[in-house]
Structure 1
Amino acid sequence: MYHIVSFEETAEVEVVPALWVNDGVCQWPPYKTKGVQRAIKSQQEPDHTWASYNARVLYTATLLHDLLVKQEIIIEQQQNIIRMVQDLHAAMHSMTEGETNMERHYSYFPLRNVEQLMALEGDLQSLPGLTKELITSLGLAGGATVKDTVWGILRRAMMNDLALKITWSGANRKLAFDRLQLKAVVVAAVRRNPACSSATDDEIAKSIKKWFYWAGDRDGGRKKRKPGPSQNAASTQPGAH
């Protein structure tokens, strides 16, 4: 039997044989990495040469493979939490400065019209550090997948009325998101999510395109396009076609 344990002093997570853990204390062998791995797999019995560390059992299983999978999940969750805490700390720290950066962020988002978007575009070019600040701010949206993260960030960044006036490439005389400074901010904010850190430009772009494509169906748009009762009745009358 094996445990996944979290060591209290370092917050490190490890898979160890259950016999190494007793009453909140984990025995640890005085070996280098490969020696420790062999001791874990063979479930070596601790002796007086081993060190003792306070540890908390997070999960227990009989198969080592199952525990290693669980350990990877727990470590990823911890990384996500750490990143979010770091972002929140940076955001809170910025609030102690004169004209707070957070006030600037909230004055920008959500963007409501083209005029506000163009003002932001100008500020991104002229204000040093603004790009990094907005990446941190939008990156707090989070998400379990690239699509969830992209859509959460774009919902935070702009109202749907503005999204209706934008496409990825600027088709149909709309604004081209691909040519905006805001695109780089959104892409970088997506990658701040550990679940999306390795996402390719194409993967992120695909989700952005879909978000703008479906803007017409959001906020009741799909319902508005459905024919009403009078229209349905007219279409069924003789000679309607």
Structure 2
Amino acid sequence: MKRREPPLTSSGMFLIVEFTETKTVNIIPESWFEDGVTKWPNYQSDKHINRAVQTCEEPGEDWKLYDVRVLSRTGEYLRAREKLKASMTCNTSELQTDEEEFVKKRKVKKRHMFGDTESDSEPNGSGKKRHGDFSSTPWVSSPIPNMTNKGFETPSRPTGTGNTISLSGDHQVFNPTFRLGKTGTGSIPCSAAQLHILTLLEHIKEQQMQLAVAVNNLAARIGTETPMAEMPHSINLPLDTLSEVDEFEEWLKDSRNSHAKQNMISVLGAVGGQNAKKVTWNILSRIFSDAVAKQINWKGANRKKCFKEMVTRSLLIRAVRKNHSTGGATDTEIDSFTIRWFNLACDRGGGRKERGKDRCQQEA
């Protein structure tokens, strides 16, 4: 005759807790919990784990420790089971204790509960709920949304006057005022909604650049009574042609423009940047357009204009040192960053991509 096991009895308080690492919920005896940490049995059988919880078994020395957050407490195991089921669909603030203790409100979120899950994925297809089985180690993965951007490009440098060209229907064409990296030189097809977002982004970018200049100017003026410098009205930057570059060189050489030149150095020195390299590159981008930068290099090789002998080089060095974060930059450092900036001019604004298209067309 099979021996009948004694009935399970439960005593003491039971806690409904959320495991911090896995975001799963379970019942534990209060005797297992201390200072935000619970002990958890290392039994392989769910039946043994359930029995340990229900009988408030004394924790063993080899039990594992988990960080948990208390959601509710009750003096009856069956009442704890009801609250455990309710935690899957209700707000955790509704899981009050029998002594009317409330926990803080959280967003409504479906919870994974050990054992008490729908067995829809079981091979027998019975569709019955399984009660009373608990996993020995909780784990739930968080879904990662699959998001894509269609038709969005990162804006960078000024290339034109307008931003949009209307097409038939809801389709638009966006002409970025700012371009970065390999965004090309052409227009960007987009929907009306995307056009609105891109226009707002360009507006934010422009405001950010203005704020960066203002902040750097203020930082440079701290402790002094120097008035705010302004760019000379007779100079239009960036320079778009070599003839404008030559005129700018003559303007810099004229001693009558010394005061205006000092103001220009202060304005260019206020351009933001994380280090000497970024400040140098940002100042060069303010002075020269991409089209002109392709016609200049350090030594004037390949019939290009020699930057090493230009007065603009001295202006650049003084402007970089005028920046409060790069005041210690040496001539050698600034020159090396300048050389690299001109070497990359052909790839800037999608130049490398355009050359690849031309090469493919020639091969075809």
Question: TM-score, normalised on structure 2?
Answer: 0.37
- How do 1:214-233 residues align onto structure 2 when only pairs under 5 Å count? 214-227=344-357
Q: Secondary structure at the match of 1:196?
A: coil
- How do 1:51-130 residues align onto structure 2 when only pairs under 5 Å count? 82-83=219-220, 89-91=227-229, 102-104=232-234, 107-126=235-254, 127-130=257-260
Q: Residue 191 of structure 1 contacts residue 199 of structure 1 at CA under 8 Å; is this kept in 2?
A: yes
Instruction: Work out the CA distance in 2 between the residues paired with 1:187 and 1:224.
Output: 33
Alpha carbons of 1:115 and 1:89: their partners in 2 closer, same or farther (altered >3 Å)?
same
Alpha carbons of 1:80 and 1:202: their partners in 2 closer, same or farther (altered >3 Å)?
same
Instruction: Work out the CA distance in 2 between the residues paired with 1:102 and 1:144.
Output: 26
Which of 328, 334, 337 is 1:204 aligned to? 334
Q: Secondary structure at the match of 2:270?
A: helix
Instruction: Work out the CA distance in 2 between the residues paired with 1:226 and 1:84.
Output: 48
Alpha carbons of 1:187 and 1:140: their partners in 2 closer, same or farther (altered >3 Å)?
same
After superposition, what is the alpha-carbon deviation per residue over 1:39-59, rounded to whole angstroms, capped at 9, x for unaligned?
xxxxxxxxxxxxxxxxxxxxx
Superposed displacement of residue 81, structure 1:
5.2
Instruction: Work out the CA distance in 2 between the residues paired with 1:229 and 1:79.
Output: 44
Identity %: 31
After superposition, what is the alpha-carbon deviation per residue over 1:91-125, rounded to whole angstroms, capped at 9, x for unaligned?
2xx5xxxxxx6323xx3311111111111111111
Residues matched between the structures, number: 147
Structure richer in helix, relative to its length: 1
Instruction: Work out the CA distance in 2 between the residues paired with 1:135 and 1:185.
Output: 7
Which of 293, 299, 315 is 1:163 aligned to? 293
After superposition, what is the alpha-carbon deviation per residue over 1:179-234, rounded to whole angstroms, capped at 9, x for unaligned?
11111111110011122111111110011001100000011101012247965985
In structure 1, runs of 5+ residues without a counterpart are 1-77, 95-100, 235-241
Instruction: Work out the CA distance in 2 between the residues paired with 1:217 and 1:229.
Output: 15
- How do 1:175-190 residues align onto structure 2 when only pairs under 5 Å count? 175-190=305-320
- What value does the CA root-mean-square deviation take over the aligned residues? 2.9
Higher relative contact order (CA 8 A, sep 6+): 1
After superposition, what is the alpha-carbon deviation per residue over 1:42-93, rounded to whole angstroms, capped at 9, x for unaligned?
xxxxxxxxxxxxxxxxxxxxxxxxxxxxxxxxxxxx99852167799422xx
Instruction: Work out the CA distance in 1 between the residues paired with 2:337 and 2:360.
Output: 37
Superposed displacement of residue 178, structure 1:
1.0
Question: Quick check: 130-139 or 146-155, which moved more?
Answer: 130-139
Aligned residue type for 1:119: E
Question: TM-score, normalised on structure 1?
Answer: 0.54
Q: Secondary structure at the match of 2:273?
A: coil
Superposed displacement of residue 135, structure 1:
0.7
